[in-house]
Structure 1
Amino acid sequence: MERGKKRSYNVMDDEPVTYEFSEIEIQNLKIAAKKRPTFRGVENLDDNTKVSALKAVSFVVSLVSFSGASVLSQNCGAIIERDNNTNIVITSLNLARACDETDSDETDFRKNNLADDLKVVVYASDGSWYLGEIIFYDFFYNLAVVKFCSKSFFEPAKLSMIDDASVSETDFIRHHSSKLKHGDNVIVVGRYFQGANEYMAAPGVLSLNRFRPDEYDCNELFTISSRFTRCGDGASVISTSGELIGITFFDMSTSSPLLPINLISRMWEHFKEHGEMRHPSYGFDAKNVRFALLPTLERFRRLFPNVPNGLIVEKVFEDYNAESAGLQVGDVIFACDGIEIKSFLQLWELMFAKVGKEVELEVARVDLKVIKNIRLLIGEASNDEEIYRWPKYDYR
């Protein structure tokens, strides 16, 4: 697809193609299984986790990628759409990234290029393998979209947006919400590519704190406490009601990153409509003001009692539009184009729609005790830039 060309993009146009492995591919899959074991602790799951996980069985798939006959990666994924025979799966782009054979240093970052002679196959809940095709990928968010066709019907995931809004006084008396919030229970669900333990789950808790910002350039990642093995890269993260709230990526720390479905669905809809990717470039990192340190939060509330919500700027990047516009670390963004800002995902959505245009931010500058209006041009970053890097582990 030619970069920058805008057109409608029809992804639903193929016939079902089941897949049979060659002998050498079967041998390589057995070797890969030894390196990429199933989730640990599956035999000790509590009843509530099992009940919730079973609600997602239909849309959870396993994916295996090959570079030639060699196994490149094994991922999990989620079916988010189906039309006629065609299923659309979201997963981690680690499925298709090239591996550098000469450098296994785990502190390095993944390269932004795809493997040669790439082939993807999908293992679905009906026990069949299907030939897949990557139709969309994004190095920024490490996201891939795969389509495969089947005669079997798989119920697509129901999506549940994450609510990362600030807590106001009325939030404390809100007894329920259809959106996931900070502190809610979540479950990582995945499907293994062979053996008896093919369906897997790992319970955890959602945190709206940024995931390891010192290691990941992507500042749109939240944190979940679920832990799983390498085979769960790209796995679905669901609510206790079985709805999809995002996908996760394998990490060697004590927690895992979550890419919210809010962001994924917005990018996918844009791609379907325009046939291209979009990456808003705004040049700062911010988090919900309620996650600020208590002394900072107390001072902000005292100086600006009429500003109930907002995002506190944690970092302004050099040579980006935010720096030239005058945004500063410690500023609290509480409005964008006259719209009250309650969450980071809300601001991201507004900026996504305004790429190439200016927005007016209303900012509380705590150190000067003043309100400022800042005009910020929302740029667009190239998919080829060496930013939004992802740590490189041995995915082979």
Structure 2
Amino acid sequence: MKKYSKYLVVAMSALAFAFSTGTLIKVNATQAPSTAVPAQPVDLTYAAEKSLPSVVHILSTKNSKVQTIEVQSDPFSDFFSDPFGFFGNPNQGQDGKQKRSVRTPKQQGSGSGVIISTDGYIVTNNHVVADADELTVTLNDNKEYSARIIGTDKTTDLALIKIDAKDLPAITIANSENIKVGEWVLAVGNPFNLTNTVTAGIVSAKGRSLYQNGVESFIQTDAAINPGNSGGALVNTRGELIGINAMLYSQTGSFSGYGFAIPTSIMNKVVDDLKKYGTVQRAVIGIQGQDVKNYVDAQKDQGKDVDLGTMEGIYVAKVLEESSAEEAGLKAGDVITAIDGKEMNKMADLQEYLAKK
């Protein structure tokens, strides 16, 4: 894997928040969680057989190009070649730097993708196809196709590409909001160019943020994800797509127990917008803030005792002018705990929910 009109009004039927004084206002009570029931032993071979035909290998090629770069000039060389400065140097700027043309080498990289429609639409990561001059897609049955980019979204690290083919084995897309921590999943892709590879693990966390300044609400898994798995499928035990594998967390560059996938709840909106507009139409609520726990911890580090009445939710540090948040009546010091009756325990939950708007 290689290593947000000013504001759009966000439709919110209900918004629950708390003031920093500790007063908690709860709107639209959420449903009680269902009781977990131990499941029967899982046969993951079905999930593998179901999903493998839908996962493809993507070869990205950047052609050799001539680029102009600036380098510091050598005053001694300049003196001996033109000691009195009669001729001047057309490639030298006023800052003393010279311009030189260099040819970059041809570069290739590889990753994975997931067929989401029978007529050739494929989802992958933005970083797999970014700046590519050519894209070659190889299916599970070794058929090769040239692909074109429909649209990319750097914020979510998602991209939509297309090949000219019919009757392709499109994967079934499941609702990632229904997955539970602890359930079995498979990561399907092409790590290290080893095509048609499946690894197994569990969902080890949901709504994980890695603070990379994008829309982040990752599914965390301990199914092995390695370089080349980017853009591949994270599937449930029925072989249904629940996420697009995006990155790993490692100090060595290889898998060490933590892999992350973009949930289909975010992917669906991005894909729909890329098909319609070629870019993502993104809702912006208009606040600056952080997880309540992080805010409280930071205040404690400064010797301040803060009681917001809850340790979950998003602390609103600032409300931007003329934003939908200001129109809804939010103020600095509020804590968002739910939207439309859905609990918001942390910033990643809010990002994931708004990404669908």
Q: Indicate the TM-score class for this superposition, using the shorter chain for normalisation.
A: 0.5 to 0.7
Distance apart, 1:327 and its partner CA: 4.0
Distance 1:73 1:313, change over 3 A: same
Task: Tell me, yes or no, if the aligned pair for 2:215 and 2:352 is still in contact at 8 Å.
Answer: no
Distance across 2 between alignment mates of 1:68 and 1:260: 33
Task: State the partner residue of 2:139.
Answer: 124
Distance across 2 between alignment mates of 1:230 and 1:217: 21
SS of residue in 2 equivalent to 1:53 = helix
After TM superposition, list the pairs within 5 Å mapping 1:91-110 onto structure 2.
91-97=124-130
SS of residue in 2 equivalent to 1:250 = strand
Distance across 2 between alignment mates of 1:71 and 1:48: 41
After TM superposition, list the pairs within 5 Å mapping 1:345-360 onto structure 2.
348=351, 351-352=354-355
Distance across 1 between alignment mates of 2:136 and 2:313: 43
Deviation by residue 1:347-396 (Cα, 9 ceiling, x = unmatched): 55764576xxxxxxxxxxxxxxxxxxxxxxxxxxxxxxxxxxxxxxxxxx
Q: Tell me if 1:81 matches 2:117.
A: yes
Distance 1:182 1:232, change over 3 A: same
SS of residue in 2 equivalent to 1:269 = helix
- Given candidates 219, 236, 239, the residue that maps to 1:239 is 236
Task: Tell me, yes or no, if the aligned pair for 1:211 and 1:257 is still in contact at 8 Å.
Answer: no
Q: Which amino acid aligns with 2:267?
A: I
Q: Which amino acid aligns with 1:80?
A: I
Q: Which amino acid aligns with 1:312?
A: G
Deviation by residue 1:215-253 (Cα, 9 ceiling, x = unmatched): 564433232222222111111110011000110123242
Distance 1:327 1:263, change over 3 A: farther
TM-score computed with the length of structure 2 as normaliser: 0.60
Task: State the partner residue of 2:268.
Answer: 265
SS of residue in 2 equivalent to 1:271 = helix
Q: Tell me if 1:59 matches 2:54.
A: yes
Distance 1:353 1:127, change over 3 A: closer
Distance across 2 between alignment mates of 1:234 and 1:68: 22
Distance 1:314 1:120, change over 3 A: farther
Q: Which sits farther off after the overlay, 273-282 or 68-77?
A: 273-282
Q: With CA pairs under 8 Å and 6+ residues apart, which has the higher RCO, 1 or 2?
A: 2
Distance across 1 between alignment mates of 2:202 and 2:315: 24
SS of residue in 2 equivalent to 1:95 = helix
Q: Tell me if 1:162 matches 2:155.
A: no
Q: Which amino acid aligns with 2:120?
A: N
Distance across 2 between alignment mates of 1:189 and 1:225: 13
Distance across 1 between alignment mates of 2:150 and 2:230: 19
Task: Tell me, yes or no, if the aligned pair for 2:265 and 2:356 is still in contact at 8 Å.
Answer: no
Distance apart, 1:315 and its partner CA: 7.5
Distance 1:96 1:350, change over 3 A: closer
Q: Which has the larger radius of gyration?
A: 2
Identity among equivalent pairs (%): 19
Task: State the partner residue of 1:340.
Answer: 341
Unmatched segments (≥5 aa) in structure 2: 6-40, 65-105, 251-255, 298-307
Task: Tell me, yes or no, if the aligned pair for 1:72 and 1:95 is still in contact at 8 Å.
Answer: no
Deviation by residue 1:38-96 (Cα, 9 ceiling, x = unmatched): xxxxxxxx9933332121022111100101173432011100112xxx31100011122
Task: State the partner residue of 2:210.
Answer: 212
Distance 1:52 1:277, change over 3 A: same
Distance 1:92 1:61, change over 3 A: same
Distance 1:199 1:93, change over 3 A: same
TM-score computed with the length of structure 1 as normaliser: 0.54
- Given candidates 146, 149, 158, the residue that maps to 1:134 is 149
Q: Which amino acid aligns with 1:95?
A: V
Task: State the partner residue of 2:186.
Answer: 187
Distance 1:350 1:201, change over 3 A: closer
- Given candidates 72, 84, 94, the residue that maps to 2:108 is 72
Distance across 1 between alignment mates of 2:185 and 2:356: 29
Task: Tell me, yes or no, if the aligned pair for 2:208 and 2:348 is still in contact at 8 Å.
Answer: no
Deviation by residue 1:236-293 (Cα, 9 ceiling, x = unmatched): 110011000110123242312221111111122233344432223344566799xx99
Distance apart, 1:123 and its partner CA: 0.4
Distance 1:268 1:95, change over 3 A: same
Distance 1:71 1:150, change over 3 A: farther
Distance 1:66 1:264, change over 3 A: same
Distance across 1 between alignment mates of 2:171 and 2:292: 28
Distance apart, 1:142 and its partner CA: 1.0
Q: Which amino acid aligns with 1:188?
A: A
Distance apart, 1:192 and its partner CA: 6.3
Distance across 2 between alignment mates of 1:267 and 1:185: 26
Distance apart, 1:149 and its partner CA: 1.7
Task: Tell me, yes or no, if the aligned pair for 1:262 and 1:345 is still in contact at 8 Å.
Answer: no
Distance apart, 1:185 and its partner CA: 1.6
Q: Could you say what the CA RMSD is over the residues aligned between the two structures, in angstroms?
A: 3.9
Distance 1:93 1:303, change over 3 A: closer
Q: Which amino acid aligns with 2:341?
A: E
Task: State the partner residue of 1:326.
Answer: 331
Distance across 2 between alignment mates of 1:314 and 1:303: 12
Distance 1:276 1:157, change over 3 A: same
Distance 1:250 1:326, change over 3 A: same
Distance 1:334 1:157, change over 3 A: same
Distance across 1 between alignment mates of 2:292 and 2:46: 33
Task: Tell me, yes or no, if the aligned pair for 1:186 and 1:240 is still in contact at 8 Å.
Answer: yes
